[in-house]
Amino acid sequence: MPRVVRIEIGARTYEVIIGAGLVRTLGGMVSEVTPARRAAALVFDTALPTGLVEEAAGSLAGAGYEVTRIGAVGDEGHKSLGALEAILAAMEASRLERGDPVVALGGGVVGDVAGFAAAVYRRGTVLVQCPTTLLAMVDASVGGKTGVNLRLGDGTTVKNAVGAFHQPRRVAIDVMALGSLPERAFRCGLAECVKHGMLGGDLGDAGLLEHLESGVERVLAREAGALVELIARNVAVKAAAIGGDEREEAAVGGRALLNLGHTFGHAMEPMAGLSPDGDARRAPLQHGEAVGLGLVAACATAEAMGRIGPGLGERVRALLTRCGLPTRVRGLPGDEVLLAAMAHDKKARGGRLRLVLPGGAGRAEVVTDPPREAVVRGLGAIRSA
């Protein structure tokens, strides 16, 4: 049976439904939240198996929608204003009206760009997320953050610099879609699961990190039951973080905690020459790889500040290794370059760096202006000779 997690944000609620074979019933799930069935835009990752796209489109058509298919490239380099414009132009050409649903079928990049299109098309239309990567299932598809990266005049790319908060009406997570996901991309999703485990004590699931440690082999084998359980628990942790803090404005805790590891990770992710194993053919780092490295750096920074002992950092490094994720990286630029990149992070306030740092197993908090030497220690913990 599918698992259902309710997301409650003020007076608004929506359901995240997690199960096996849900794409076959996608049309019915969409029609429940958009009863006036007329037309739908299916924005899909062009790298998905044709059969999965056909199944989704057929289910929507069977529920009474006239379906416009809009292909999108699901890699980080195409998460751009140009990609957004192409989706919006296709929506306008098909004469979608306000209220006609946009269904995002793909990973986090497609979900973010399609979600942003839904947020701004005719000042906002209905969004349904149908994520197909583990990373998007446990993170990007839930919570309403949408957006694209911004390329500056000097060639620097600022991740997620342009976007909007636009909550989906429903999220349909079909774990069977993970069957065709490349191994590297699948393992990247586990970085967010480790992050949620590090936050679980603050967000209602103190045993989540231990659960992942005990069952990681079943998850790596893509057992459907293990995936449904892990994804449902991760979504529930994220729901606890965002419920009272939709726009990441809480002074303490709230949604900002979900950025654990991300300020370090976002600084490294756009750097063209970095790869998980030093092989340039696998550059750049994927998002989950960068986040995993960021978790190690955050633990080392917290340890240097005396906030935690060495045990948590060792535990996190060991789990990430079991997940097949890098914990060190070759070719990192100098500390000043990385610190400058971290200063571009959206969480900075008044030019002051803000980091989410662990305070023990299951706990974390936002730290403003951490000592430079502690942050440098964190960067040192992920450098490989």
Residue 43 has a pLDDT of 98
Residue 155 has a pLDDT of 82
Residue 273 has a pLDDT of 92
Instruction: Taking residues 208-213, report their average pLDDT.
Output: 98
Tell whether the model's pLDDT for residue 218 goes beyond 80.
yes
Query: Taking all residues of the chain, what is their mean pLDDT, rounded to a whole number?
Result: 95
Among residues 79, 169, 196, 287, the one annotated as catalytic is 287
CB neighbours of 246 closer than 8 A, spacing ≥ 6? 9, 10, 143, 144, 165, 167, 255
Q: In this structure, are residues 44 and 53 in contact, taking their beta carbons and an 8 Å threshold? A: yes
Q: In this structure, are residues 170 and 30 in contact, taking their beta carbons and an 8 Å threshold? A: yes
Report the percent of the chain where pLDDT is more than 70: 98
Domain topology for 3-179: Rossmann fold (3.40.50)
Residue 145 has a pLDDT of 95
Q: Is 262 a catalytic residue?
A: yes
Residues 63, 209: Cα–Cα separation, whole Å? 40
Domain topology for 196-384: Dehydroquinate synthase-like, alpha domain (1.20.1090)
Residues 327, 384: Cα–Cα separation, whole Å? 9
Residue 67 has a pLDDT of 98
Instruction: Taking residues 298-321, report their average pLDDT.
Output: 97
Instruction: Taking residues 236-263, report their average pLDDT.
Output: 91
Tell whether the model's pLDDT for residue 243 goes beyond 80.
yes
3-state helix, strand, coil in the chain (%, to 5): 50, 20, 30
Q: Is 192 a catalytic residue?
A: yes
- Could you read off the pLDDT of 107-165 as tens digits, one per residue? 999 999 999 999 999 999 999 999 999 999 999 999 999 999 998 988 888 888 999 99
Among residues 211, 233, 262, 317, the one annotated as catalytic is 262
Q: Is 79 a catalytic residue?
A: no
Among residues 15, 76, 248, 289, the one annotated as catalytic is 248
Tell whether the model's pLDDT for residue 248 goes beyond 90.
no
**Sign of the dihedral defined by the CA atoms of residues 89, 94, 98, 102, in that order:** negative
User: Which strands form 66-72's sheet, in the order they lie side by side?
Assistant: 3-9, 12-19, 170-174, 127-131, 102-106, 39-45, 66-72
DSSP 271: -
Q: Is 196 a catalytic residue?
A: no
Q: Select the more confidently predicted residue: 307 or 35.
A: 307
Pair of tokens at residue 23: 């794409």
Residue 4 has a pLDDT of 98
Residue 121 has a pLDDT of 97
Tell whether the model's pLDDT for residue 81 goes beyond 70.
yes
Residues 361, 309: Cα–Cα separation, whole Å? 10
- Could you read off the pLDDT of 339-370 as tens digits, one per residue? 999 987 766 666 789 999 999 879 999 999 99
Total-model pTM: 0.94
Q: Where in the chain is the domain with CATH 3.40.50.1970?
A: 3-179
Residue 10 has a pLDDT of 81
Between CA 350 and CA 355, with CA 354 as vertex, the angle to 5 degrees is: 170
Q: Is 24 a catalytic residue?
A: no
Pair of tokens at residue 69: 């298919």
Instruction: Taking residues 183-199, report their average pLDDT.
Output: 98
Q: In this structure, are residues 347 and 367 in contact, taking their beta carbons and an 8 Å threshold? A: no
Question: Which pLDDT band holds residue 336 (cuts at 50, 70, 90)?
Answer: very high
Phi then psi for residue 341, to 5 deg, are -65, -40
Among residues 79, 169, 170, 238, the one annotated as catalytic is 238
Q: Where in the chain is the domain with CATH 1.20.1090.10?
A: 196-384
Of 31-35, 314-318, 367-371, give the lowest mean pLDDT range: 31-35
Among residues 159, 255, 307, 363, the one annotated as catalytic is 255
Residue 346 has a pLDDT of 61
Q: Is 344 a catalytic residue?
A: no
Among residues 266, 317, 347, 363, the one annotated as catalytic is 266
DSSP secondary structure of 91-133 = HHHTT--TTPPEEEEESHHHHHHHHHHHHHGGG---EEEEE-S
Residue 348 has a pLDDT of 62
Residues 179, 182: Cα–Cα separation, whole Å? 9
